A and B are shown apart, each in its own frame.
Chain A
Amino acid sequence: MATETKRVASRRACLKILAAAAGGTAAGVGGAVSVGRLGRAPEGPWRVLTPDEARLVEAVSEQIIPADRDPGAKEAGVVRYIDKQLDGPLKRFAEKYRNGLRFLAQTCQAQHGKPFEALSWPEQTRVLQALESGKAPKEIWADPSPREFFGLIRDHTMQGFYGSPRHGGNKNYASYKMLGLEYPRVIGQNRYPEQAG
């Protein structure tokens, strides 16, 4: 059996191999995403993402959970959740994020001649549908695959929007309000007074 684990034999070996697989920390490739003149990036400070990356993540997350009569991912601060976790429990995905965002930006340039954020809403949707079904330019996408990258950002967007506000997303309990769930839960008392913005 030629297995990955055969290579390691020492103390802490499994942890090292994992760090290697994840490409270590997010050091290095900062500022690699070119998104052109798209107005102001979402307000920092950012821990892992560059401001341009943050703007792109925000745009993708808004496609995943769009605003309608309830707030979407942007208003709920999902990008803040993702940035914070990429410096925490989700650190092992930081390099995949960085690469995936770069591949996505390159894909949009190659196919539309402009950045993702500058595409129309239906165009953005089609780009992401292509990633989800693995149909993206092979010469651009390496590690992560389009499907893997989309899966990550989809899951993390859901976590940021529907998870506990303590992690940086779900601002003003946006999703709990949408679902009609009281929070914090105090018996017999609705905890949602009128709230500004």
Chain B
Amino acid sequence: MANRHVNAVIVGAGAGGGVVAKVLAEAGLSVVLLERGKWQSFEDTTDDELRSQRTTVLGNAYGPDDARYCRVIENPDGSTRIVLPSEGGYNNNAACVGSGTLSYGAMGWRFMPQDFRLKSIYGCPEGSTLDDWPISYDELDHCYERAEWEIGVAGDDEGNPFAPPRKKPRPMPAFPYNKEAEILIAAGKRLGWHPFPVPMLRNSIPYGGRPKCIHMRSCCGFACPINAKCGTQNTVIPAAMATGNCEVRTDAVVSEVVVDERGRARGVKYFDINDRLQEQTADLVVVSASATETARLLLNSKSKLFPHGAGNNNDWVGRNLQGHAYCGANGLMDEDIYEEAGPGACVAFSDFSHGNKGLCGGAMVANEFIALPYAFTNTRPPGSPRWGAAHKEFQRSHYKRVLRVMGPVQEMPVFESRVRVDPAVKDHWGIPVVRLSGRRHPHDVEIAKFIVEKVAALLREAGAKDIWTWVPGLGGPSGGQHQAGTCRMGNDPKSSVTNRYGQVHEIDNLFVADGSLNVTNGGFNPALTIMALGYWVGEYIAKEWKSGSRFKG
């Protein structure tokens, strides 16, 4: 039986798609939200470190599964290897309702105004496709505000002189600091830095009909047992459903955006839970499947007018894949600094986000989420024994004494760092899989070296004796859970995939609403920005719907 035609079909129920669903459903559009994964909760996987979002040695707790999915990595020499979703090279984002927002560490950052104008401020490093965003921070401000209030953020900018301007405070007060944060705050102040609480998409007080946080040490990488973490799966998606206008259809693996002979999106094809091919027609299509999967879907959507994939006539779909060049330092303290107050990360410094001499951007730095016991087995100063009595002794005597500070360095976009579809390898449903290739820009490593020097100085000031740092290499393509950039928004169709509203150039009823739109990825965790973009794109569609042609071409 054919599916009933709807006004909008949205692909992917994550940070972006969940928000768009709410905005459109509230505007009166009939909406189908397709998600390849399922509804999940804490009870499904509990606090099992070996099967979480951060450690996946026994599989991905929140999908996708190793049995039906894979990707291809292309090495710099052109050789390739196949990676499974539970392996690091896959660059996984969770496949479930809420996607990463179900199990994330839940930092709720706004990017800074400068993050939208890197090229104008710093110029473009050689070999990068760096550009300004076509929208400004001021334009996105009200979308950040909606995300903060409708999904829920706890935080306080008082201690942060670099905080981006805002018209309205956050709805919840900041979380209290833990023991290691107090040590870092004192040390940071002695260095003249400006500590402040990490903004969190997590309830510091009861909010949205859900209780306040109980501080699980297993927080980052896990669903919350009491729903105190704020994701799209427990906020905007239920709100969309409550309008009566939105149906969430899970276990739906979308294979193609159907583009007709006139170059208009007609809907999508997807495989249902029984692997049957279905079609969902709609007046408009929104793709919110993450930077890797959104690009894959557009590239797999070939049609007469778009033989290289939807919106790809200028070969920009899948380009400029970015994540974050994470760097940081560990320091050994003389006494226990551990406090059973998860998730751990709670204090940040934005002193080196911008204005670093000779560098294009920078990073916020914060204390790290609690390292769980297995993850800690690989936290050792260089040259330490990897096993045996000494390794065990280190584990026992230092588990509660390692101070960890790190930061997400903003990456320079690289044209050849990219998502393609593999010419041969297909997934369980016969859909060509993602093929990742390319490397980081060397400037990312320069910035990371600068940042870790600052972090090491902080740890030294805090009293750490043995300090060791890590800086990412040029490596393979960056992406990870912070993946972004593959369907860049811009004013020039020759150097972008969508316009400033996420509307694909040349296909005016096809939209993108996820991190793929990010021209650059900020020196911050990007979840709140992706949510804000969901509002930005959703509000534009709703406005056009009410006043205009209803995208009927």
A residues adjacent to B (C-beta < 8 A)? 1-15, 17-18, 63-66, 68, 70, 72, 85, 88-90, 125, 128, 132, 154-155, 157-159, 162-164, 166-167, 175-176, 178-182, 185, 187
Instruction: Give Cα distance in the complex from A128 to B46, angstroms.
Output: 35
Chain A residues in 8 Å Cβ range of B70: 14-15, 18
Write out, one digit per residue, whether chain B residues 38-63 have a CB within 8 A of any chain A CB (1) or not (0). Answer: 00000000111111000001110000
Contact between B50 and A159, CB atoms less than 8 A apart = yes
- Apart from the given pairs A5-B422, A9-B424, A66-B388, 5 other A-B contacts in the complex at a CB distance below 8 Å: A65-B392, A89-B86, A179-B395, A180-B399, A182-B340
Chain B residues in 8 Å Cβ range of A3: 78-80
CB under 8 Å from chain A, chain B span 408-431: 422, 424-430
Contact between B50 and A12, CB atoms less than 8 A apart = no
Given A10-B426, A164-B49, are A5 and B72 also a contact pair (CB < 8 Å)? yes
25 pairs from A and B in contact (CB 8 Å cutoff): A4-B81, A8-B425, A9-B424, A10-B426, A11-B428, A14-B70, A14-B426, A14-B427, A15-B68, A18-B70, A65-B392, A66-B389, A68-B393, A157-B387, A162-B395, A164-B48, A167-B48, A167-B50, A178-B395, A178-B396, A179-B395, A179-B399, A180-B400, A181-B373, A185-B47
Most chain-B Cβ atoms within 10 A of its Cβ — which of A157, A166, A179? A179
Chain B residues in 8 Å Cβ range of A9: 424
Chain A residues in 8 Å Cβ range of B395: 162, 178-179
Main secondary structure of the interface of B (DSSP, over half): loop
- Across the interface, B47 reaches (CB within 8 A) one of A66, A88, A155, A164, namely A164
- Across the interface, A6 reaches (CB within 8 A) one of B57, B389, B424, namely B424
Contact between A18 and B425, CB atoms less than 8 A apart = no
A-B interface, 9 closest residue pairs, ranked by CB to CB distance from nearest: A162-B373, A1-B78, A14-B70, A163-B50, A3-B80, A162-B374, A164-B48, A11-B430, A64-B387
B residues adjacent to A (C-beta < 8 A)? 46-51, 57-59, 66-68, 70, 72, 78-82, 84, 86, 214, 216-217, 340, 373-374, 376-377, 386-389, 391-393, 395-396, 399-400, 422, 424-430, 433
Chain B residues in 8 Å Cβ range of A132: 386-387
Instruction: Give Cα distance in the complex from A13 to B427, angstroms.
Output: 8
- Across the interface, A12 reaches (CB within 8 A) one of B72, B78, B376, B426, namely B426
- Find the A residue at minimum CB distance from B376: A162
Whole-angstrom distance between the Cβ of A108 and the nearest chain B Cβ: 18
- Find the A residue at minimum CB distance from B225: A185
Contact between B387 and A85, CB atoms less than 8 A apart = no
Given A12-B428, A18-B84, A179-B395, are A166 and B48 also a contact pair (CB < 8 Å)? yes
Given A164-B48, A167-B50, are A11 and B399 also a contact pair (CB < 8 Å)? no
Instruction: Give Cα distance in the complex from A155 to B56, angstroms.
Output: 13
Chain A residues in 8 Å Cβ range of B428: 11-12, 15
Chain B residues in 8 Å Cβ range of A15: 67-68, 70, 428
- Find the A residue at minimum CB distance from B338: A180
